[in-house]
């Protein structure tokens, strides 16, 4: 039980590290809070809220994997290296892909409802 609690604590400190050190993570979290508030205000059905939740957590998890990979690359290759650049750029690209996906999901699920309200 103690081991489980320690692992949980370490996982939380990984989340805290990412929020503290990565500006992008702060931006993702702000966007997540705004999208959640708007979707609750719009009284979206549970299935659509679930899609939004999956989308939001995918972006946050991708940013954390990116941060972890950056740390490993800086550890093993503090000097410039072609492969270090590939690793960092591909990981950053993965975050961008999840962010683009979140824009598509917001456009498909939230925009039609907001547009309906504004009419
Ligand atoms: N050891 C390295 N060798 C080669 N290129 C690197 C290395 N470290 C970083 N780069 C490249 O330099 C650019 C900037 O990387 P850097 O890590 O400074 O910022 P970042 O990727 O935006 O991450 P963050 O700002 O979150 O620390 C990226 O294209 C990255 O791939």
40-64, pLDDT tens digit by residue?
Answer: 999 999 999 999 999 999 999 999 9
**DSSP conformation letters of 41-69:** HTT--HHHHHHHHHHHHHHHHHHHHHHHH
Give all domains of the chain, ordered by start, each with its CATH number. Answer: 2-118 (1.10.287.3610)
pLDDT at position 99, please? Answer: 98
* 23 pLDDT above the threshold of 90: yes
Question: pLDDT at position 117, please?
Answer: 85
Work out which ligand 1 atom sits closest to the CA atom of 77.
1
ipTM of the complex: 0.91
Distance 53 CA to ligand 1 centre (A): 30
> Residue 48 catalytic?
no
The pLDDT tens digits of the residues spanning 66-99 come to 999 999 999 999 999 999 999 999 999 999 999 9
């Amino acid at each position: 039980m103690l081991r489980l609690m320690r692992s949980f604590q370490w996982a939380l400190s990984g989340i805290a590290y990412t929020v503290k050190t990565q500006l992008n993570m702060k931006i993702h979290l702000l966007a997540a809070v705004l999208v959640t508030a708007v979707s609750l205000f719009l009284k979206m059905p549970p299935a659509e809220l679930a899609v939004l939740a999956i989308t939001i957590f995918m972006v946050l998890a991708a940013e954390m994997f990116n941060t972890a990979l950056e740390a490993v690359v800086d550890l093993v290759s503090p000097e410039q290296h072609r492969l270090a650049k590939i690793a960092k750029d591909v990981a950053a690209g993965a975050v961008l892909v999840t962010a683009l996906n979140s824009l598509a999901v917001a456009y498909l699920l939230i925009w039609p409802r907001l547009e309906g309200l504004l009419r």
